[in-house]
Every structure is written in C-alpha cells, then in structure tokens.
Amino acid sequence: MYQFAFTTVDDPNLALALKILPALIVVLVASAVCGRLAIAVKQPRVLGEMVAGVLLGPTFLGMLLPDIQQRLFPAEVKSFLYVLSTIGLTLYMFLVGVGMEHGERGEAKKTGRQATVLAMSGVLPALVLGAGAGVLWYDELSRGDISRAEFAFFVGSALSITAFPMLARILYERGLQHSRLGKLSLVAASMDDAAAWCLLAVLSAVHAGTGLTGALRTIVLVAIFAALMLLVVARLLRPLGATVARTGRLAPGQMYLVAVIVLTAGWFTDFIGVYSVFGGFIAGLAMPRNAAFREALHGRMMDFVCVFLLPVFFAFSGLNTKLGGVTDGTMLLALGTLLAAGFAGKYVGCGLTMRAVGYSWRESWAVGGLMNARGLMILIFINIGLAQKMITQELFSMLVLVAVITTAGAVPLFRWALPPRHEARLLPPVPVGAGMDTTGPAPRDAADVPAETRR
C-alpha cells in the first residue's frame, strides 16, 4: 500500500507511474523554458537543455528546495530515468550515425588531406593536453582502482570531442555548409567524433576486461560487430533505401525493422561491455546512404528523441552533477586546468592548422571556435565513464561545466572571428536564376528549426 497526497494506491506499478510522470513533466517544462531562453540569447537550444538538467539537480533545486527535489527524483525514478536516457542516447547516436553517412564521405574525397589534418589537429593536441591534465590531477580526481594511464587517457579523450551536430547547425543556419570552409569543417568534425567513439570503445573494453585477455576479447568482438554491420547488414539494407527513395516514406513495418536493428545493436555492445550508444552509432552508419531515407527516418524519429528522450538524459546528468565539491581552491584550479587544456587543444590547435593550410586568420579562428564546442557529445562520453566507474563524481561535475562553457563560447567566438561583413564573403555564389525560385521554404526563426539541426 502506497500513500500519496490525495489517495492510497495498492498497485505498485501505478504507484511508480504516479512518481515518474510528475518528474517527466518537470523535466520537459524546464527543458522547454531553458531551451527557449537559450535561443533568445543567440545560443543553441541544446545549451539551455544542458543547463536545465543541472538546475534540476542537487546543486540548484536540491539546495533551494531539497524536500521537493527528493520527492521528484527518488531512487526508483532515477533508475527509470537512467533506462529511458540510455534508450534515448542509443537512438540519438543512431541518428547521428545516419546523418554522418550522407555526404560526408564524398566531401572527404574532395577536401582530402586538409580535412584529415584538421581532424588530427582537433584530436591530438586536446588528447595530449587533456592527458597531461589527467596525470597532473590524478591523485585528487581519480578513483583508487583506476590506473594513472587509464585516467589520463579518459580525460584526454573527453576533451578531444567536438559537437558535430552543433557545428553542422551553425553552418547550415548561415548557409555556409557548401562553402569551402563549411565542407572542410564538417568533414573534420565528423572524423573527430568517430575517433572519439573509437577511443571510448577501447577505454570501455580495457576497463571491462579482466586483464589483457579480457580486454582484447572485447576489442575483437567490437571489431567483428562493426565489420558485420558495415559490410553485411549495410548491404542487406540497400533495398530498403531504394524502396524509401521510390515511395518517399518509411512504412510502419520498415520502422519496426529499423528499431529492432538499432536496439539489438545497442544491446549487443552493452552485453560485451562497450555501452549501447556505440552500437547505436554503428547501426546508424550501416543504414542506407541515400538522402530520401535519411530525411524520412529523421522526420519520423528525431523530434521525439530530441524533445522527449534527450531532456531526460540531461536531467539524469544533472542529478549526478554536484558542483558543491568544486568550490574550494584546489578543485577550482583543477577545473581551470581542464578548461585551459580543452580550449588550447581545440581552439588553438585547429585555428593554427587552418591558417597553415591556407585559410585567413578570421576563418581559422572561426573554425577553431566551432571545433571547441563539445555540447551533448561530451555529456554522453562522461556519463558512460561515470556509469562504468571510470571517473569520480567530482571529475564528472567538472567536465559538465567544461561542456557548458565551451558550448556557450562557440557561437560568440565564431561571430567575433567572422562578423557579418566577413562572413558574407564566404557564401557560395548563387546560380543564375536562383533568386527567382519561390518554391523553397521561407526563412525561419531559429526557434522553428527542426530539433535535429539545432544541436
């Protein structure tokens, strides 16, 4: 028997629902309000949703109204949020994989060496500087059962991430996606994200393995899984892509097939110890590559994932973010070190590389600012680390702050480097007669842009 404010409930399942539904309502309202406020100050919606998650956690709501915060998010509700957020992340990374596979390979062939060099400059300096920060602060921030090398590698890998979906949104909003700078940035960012998930797969395998043999077994299973998905499953799904291209829609039966593939892939990678988001991402890469399939799939799934499931993930992250322990001098110095390592590795590394391959200083620093944004991607990364007990609560909270700060700085840094008069020079030329075309969609306010391209 479960006593609530106005009634007594005998059914434990109904009692759980009466706890979960109010928590979900609060999460969605907070995300909607903070997302709208972010747009009002010229920031991406995802930044507001990230902040909303932190505000619902112990640092803000838990400090102002601790009883209400505890009643909204008791242990059983947190468990439900964890499961729901895991499904949401798996589906989101699946959709990211689907999007990365449409056009990026072709552009990579055109930009070739420059894209590879820029991608390396976005990963290697941040990885090295982040690892150095990890070594420096190992005694203060690491778990006792994690080696110095593993801890340093995790910190460096987390700081090497770029928020590819967010970078794409900024370029698309400005019409720069087909410019020389836009193509190069998109290819490099997609390579950065792919590298980050490969690093995470290796970290998870090493951490989950019982000794070297267990780690190697997990890594081999991941490699076999990826090969089967990209070489066998991808080929078997080509007729599905052709059917969607012909009909222009995904039928319910086809959606069932897609959902089963992505959830099975997530379950398998979770089962072998490399977390479900990696399976979702690989499943996305294995989907048909034609644009009609991507548009139909995103139209069916992306809004639900971004509007309902991802705010749950941000809330769950916020419930694990305790900034009270980051207020003393030592922890603030550690936070500053992480911020400096991440900022210098991405912003300076990518900016100098862009200049070295022939871009202007303004273009170079603009790309450096975009590549420095970490957004949702680093939150996924560090949540996996926390769930698999690779990092401490204190480091998790610090990296949440790094995610918020670097994400908030991306657009201002871009605008500082490329004010409107300079940005306009990068726009690709409009074909003759294009100005007479009235069939395309009218310009829209940023708040009306589909969710998948705001992140």
DSSP 355-423: HHTT--HHHHHHHHHHHT--HHHHHHHHHHHHHTT-S-HHHHHHHHHHHHHHHHHHHHHHHHHS-HHHH
Q: What is the pLDDT of residue 453?
A: 42
Q: Cα(303)–Cα(31) distance, rounded to whole angstroms?
A: 14
Residues 6+ apart with CB under 8 A from 256: none
E strands within 197-268?
A: none
Q: What is the pLDDT of residue 450?
A: 40
Q: Which of 299, 295, 317, 302 is nearest to 376 (CA)?
A: 317
| Cβ-based burial of 446 (10 A; exposed 0-12, middle 13-18, buried ≥19) | middle
For residue 8, the surrounding DSSP H or E stretch is strand 8-9
Task: Report the predicted TM-score, pTM, of the whole model to 2 decimal places.
Answer: 0.74
Q: What is the pLDDT of residue 100?
A: 65
Q: Are 164 and 100 in contact (CB under 8 A)?
A: yes
Which CATH topology does 23-426 take?
Na+/H+ antiporter like fold (1.20.1530)
Using CA atoms, how far residue 104 sits from 86, 186, 188, 288, 411, in Å, is 27, 7, 9, 14, 23
Return contacts of 256-264, CB within 8 angstroms, 24+ apart: 258/287, 258/297, 261/233, 261/286, 262/90, 262/91, 262/94, 263/87, 263/90
Q: Integer distance in angstroms from the first to the last C-alpha of the chain?
A: 44
The per-residue pLDDT string of the chain (455 residues; one tens digit each, 9 = 90 and over) reads 566 655 666 778 888 888 899 999 999 999 999 999 988 988 888 888 888 988 998 888 888 898 998 889 998 998 999 899 889 888 988 988 887 644 444 444 555 677 788 888 888 999 999 999 999 999 888 888 888 888 999 999 999 888 776 777 677 667 776 677 777 887 788 778 777 777 777 777 777 665 556 667 777 888 899 899 999 999 999 999 999 988 888 888 999 999 999 999 999 988 877 778 888 888 998 999 888 898 899 888 888 888 888 889 888 888 888 877 677 788 899 999 999 999 998 899 899 988 888 888 998 998 888 888 887 778 888 888 888 888 888 899 899 899 889 888 888 998 898 888 777 777 665 544 443 333 333 333 333 344 444 45
Query: Would the CA dihedral through 311, 413, 102, 114 be positive or negative?
Result: negative
The residue assigned the tokens 């203060």 is: 140
Q: Which of 187, 258, 165 is nearest to 452 (CA)?
A: 165
**Tokens read off for 270:** 């979770």
Q: Where are the domains of the chain?
A: 23-426
Query: Would the CA dihedral through 435, 186, 410, 419 be positive or negative?
Result: negative
Q: What is the pLDDT of residue 446?
A: 38
Q: Cα(120)–Cα(345) distance, rounded to whole angstroms?
A: 11
The residue assigned the tokens 């990826």 is: 226
Using CA atoms, how far residue 255 sits from 248, 280, 283, in Å, is 14, 15, 14
